[in-house]
Each structure stands twice: as C-alpha cells, then as structure tokens.
Structure 1
Amino acid sequence: MNTMTGPITRPEPLREAVYSRIVALIAGGELAPGKAVTEASLAKELAVSRTPVREALLRLEADGVLRSALAKGFVVKPLLHREAAELYPILATLEGLALTTSSPGQFDLVQLRELADQITEEQEPVHRWQADTRFHEQLVASSGNTSLIELVAKLRTNLSRYELEYMRRVGSREDADQQHREVLDAIEDGDMARAAHSLVRHWQVGMGTVLAWLKD
C-alpha cells in the first residue's frame, strides 16, 4: 500500500494527522498542481470526518499551497517562478537565523550526520526528499525557537512542492550533499557564523537551480 494514501492510523492528534497526510499527498504528487481537492473525497480516502479535512484544507490555503475554488472546493496551486523566487530567500534567511542564534552544543551531530548520509544514499525522489526534510527540520528544531520553527515549517510546506517536483523530473543535486556536510563541519568546529553562511549558500544554489528549471 502507498503510505501516502489509505485510512489515517497515526498516533497523533487527528487534526495534525490529516494535515500531515494531505501535505504528503501534495508533495508526493498524488495531488498535483492544478488538481481539484474536495472535503468529501479526502474524507472518504482518509476514512475520517469532513471537519478535520476542512480545517486542514483551510490551513493549506493559508500556507499558500491551495486556492479556493468556491463551490468546487480547492485547487492545488501551480508551481510559479515568481513564488519560488520569493520563498527561497525567506527560508534561507530563517534557517540561517536558526543557526546564528544557537550554540554548537544544541545540535545532535551524530543524528544529523546520519540524516545527511541517508540523503546521499537515497535514490528514490520521495524518500530522498523526506530525508532532506528531516535534516533541515532537525537543524531548525535544535534552535529551540518555537516561533521560528513554526514559520519555517509553514514555508517548507509550500516550497517542498518545488523541491520534490524538481527531484522527480530532473534528479537530485549532488552538490547539495557536500553542502550539508559543510554546514555540519562548521557546527562541529563551533563556527556558527560559517555554518549559517554555508546553509544560506546551500539554499541560494538550490534556488538558482530550481528557478532555471522553472524557466525551461
């Protein structure tokens, strides 16, 4: 069974479980750009009531992932060059801030290096994207800044559509693996300014690659 479809079974609050599953469906391409999304169809697919589905869809509209189609429900927004050009610098700045406001001792470097290795070893686009997401989430979570963590999570929900679609259509960026290691090396050396600079540069390179692809 595809883990992105089927009834909700997660041991977490239903509202969050439904939201997470719909995000996975969008990021994984099952709900592709331009596709109509309705409360009724998702509630049936996930075997839940329509209330948590409605809440999740409204939240995703606020996140910039969906747009209202009035009586037809919602539509997954298309991938736009302009939007990507706006999102990448913001995310880069916020993740860089997470590092510059943290101390090296706040980071579990063993776990982060394991995640970096998983990203390198994983060839399947969705699984690689999932490992990459966990890596960046762990970096930001280590800051302990709840507001920053929430802001970054909201941005990543939207930007993940661009990242994963690029991976599926073009392939992974080998330079990204080395950039991840440069960030971790800087943290291990206790140089958080260098770590933040490397992380921001990582996002800048990724932005250039994705924007060039969107233009084609």
Structure 2
Amino acid sequence: MTKRYQSLKDHVYDHIATEIQNGTLLPNHKINEVALSKKLEVSRTPVREALIQLASDNLLEYLPRRGFIVKDLDTKKKLDVFQIVGVLDALAAALALEQMTEEDIEQMEDFAKIIDLSIAEKNYSDYQKYQKKFHNVYINKCNNATLIDTLEMLQNSFVRQVYSSDDTDRLFAVSAQLNEDHKEIIKCFKNKDKQKLEQLIKKHWEIEHKDMI
C-alpha cells in the first residue's frame, strides 16, 4: 500500500512539475485540486501531498484562502541558481567521465538529434523535455546520489524553462545555440577531456539573454 500511494504522489508531482517547466502553468496560476484529481484519476490525498512537496521544493507557494499557486522568482534569484547548477552539473559530468559507456554517448547523440528536430518543428515543450534527458544521461552516471538529488531539486524548483519569449524566432535561435553546446559536450566525453568538459558545461549554464529568463 505504501509503495502504491507513493507512486501516485510522485505521478502528481511529476505532472505538475512538467507543466511548470514547459510553460503550461505560468507564475501565479492557481492549482485546482479537484480538477487535478479528476484529470489524473487519483484521490485528493496524493494530490495534496504532492502540492505540499512542490511547495517545499519551491515550485509552488501556499497562500491562505487562495491555495497553491505557481511561484514566481525574480531574475536575480534565477541567475544565482543557474550559477550553482552550472558548477554542480560540471562536477557531475567530471565524476561521470570514466563511467560513461558507448551506449550512454550514443543515447546523448540521439537526444541531440531529437532536440534539433524539436527546434525545427518549433516544439519548445519537447525541446525542454529532451534537453533535460540529455543532461540526465551523465548526471545519473556520476555515482553521487546527493549530487543527483540536489541537481534534480534545483532544476525542478528554479530552472523550469531556461528561456521564454514571445519572439519564437529568437527563442529557437538561442535553443539551437544551446544544442550546439550539447554536441560539443558529447565530443568532450568521447575524448575524455575533463578540463574542457567542465569549462564547457559551466559556460553552457551562463545566461547571456537575461531579458528572456
């Protein structure tokens, strides 16, 4: 029973986190618990537990008499977190370097190709989905559970969409530049170039277009 309940809570958590990250749920959007229960076909209990966890992880905010809303973060806070993520992501890559297999690298190459396709089709939701999967290939091979959990929490809580803009041409031009970084990261893993890998990933997380975050 405990395992089943936990899986339902995680299902609700992942659903809301994904909708926040892909821009379906925007800052200050109120979460309707009843509608969410019906949509996901679960009881109110795992929904409430997931919302409490999401608030603890900084995705949501609880307001008396209003309920749970999607939390907004100021630009300085976002930039601070991106800086931390860059350092930790680079550390994860360095720790994973000797653990990466040919299959892992091939998987990263496949994700980079899918990201190119997502950009060509102007599908930002898929772009977000697969760029996260790309990074998770090596993050999950770093053999440091605390680091993995910390990166997951930071990315779920703060990073969300890396960039957003009503100017879709500019948005996808920036996304294409970031995917070129992904391809360079793959080369570093192939060449086992630890120093360049760490430098590249830290630079990858530097926010050049501050007006778009």
Q: Provide TM-score, normalisation by structure 1.
A: 0.84
Task: Give 2:111's aligned residue.
Answer: 115
2:3 corresponds to which residue?
A: none
Structure 1 counterpart of 2:197: 195
Secondary structure of residue in 2 paired with 1:67: strand
Shift of 1:82: 1.7
Letter in 2 for 1:113: E
Report if aligned partners of 2:17, 2:59 keep a CA contact under 8 Å in 1. no
Name the Cα RMSD after superposition.
2.0
Q: RCO (CA 8 Å, sep 6+): is it higher in 1 or 2?
A: 2
Distance 2:60 2:199 in 1: 32
- Of the structure 1 ranges 19-28 and 129-138, higher mean CA displacement relative to structure 2 is found in 19-28
- Confirm or deny that 1:82 pairs with 2:76: yes
Residue equivalent to 1:178: 180
Instruction: Please show how residues 120-139 of structure 1 align to structure 2 within 5 Å.
Output: 120-123=116-119, 124-139=123-138
Q: In the aligned structure 2, how far is the partner of 1:157 from the partner of 1:166? A: 20
**Segment drifting more, 139-148 vs 36-45:** 36-45
The correspondence for 2:40, drawn from 13, 35, 46, is 46
Q: 1:180 to 1:167 in 2, by over 3 A?
A: farther
Question: Which deviates more, 89-98 or 77-86?
Answer: 77-86
The separation in 2 between residues aligned to 1:94 and 1:15, in whole angstroms, is 27
- DSSP 3-state at the match of 1:101: helix
Residues 168 and 78 of structure 1: CA distance in aligned 2, closer, same or farther (over 3 Å):
farther
How far apart are the structure 1 equivalents of 2:7 and 2:19? 18
Task: Give the gaps of 5 or more residues in structure 1.
Answer: 1-11
Please say if residues 106 and 143 of structure 1, whose CA atoms lie closer than 8 Å, have aligned partners that are also in contact: no
For 1:75, what is the secondary structure of its paired residue? strand
Q: Percent identity?
A: 25
Using the alignment, how far apart are the partners of 1:61 and 1:24 within structure 2? 15
Listed one character per residue, the Cα deviations across residues 56-114 of structure 1 (whole Å, up to 9, x for unaligned) are 11111111111111232111112421221111011111101102223334241111111
Classify 1:164/1:53 alpha carbon distance in 2 versus 1 (closer, same or farther; 3 Å).
Answer: farther
Match of 1:99 in 2: 93
The total of aligned residue pairs comes to: 200
- What is the CA deviation profile of residues 109-147 of structure 1, one whole-angstrom value per residue up to 9, with x for unaligned ones? 111111111112213110111111110111211212111
Structure 2 partner of 1:68 = 62
Instruction: Give the corresponding residue for 1:4.
Output: none
Cα deviations by residue, 1:158-207 (Å, 9 ceiling, x for unpaired): 33433263488552222212111111111111112211111111111xx2
Q: Could you say what secondary structure the match of 1:36 adopts?
A: coil
Q: Distance in 2 between matches of 1:58 and 1:180?
A: 34
Q: TM-score, normalised by structure 2?
A: 0.85
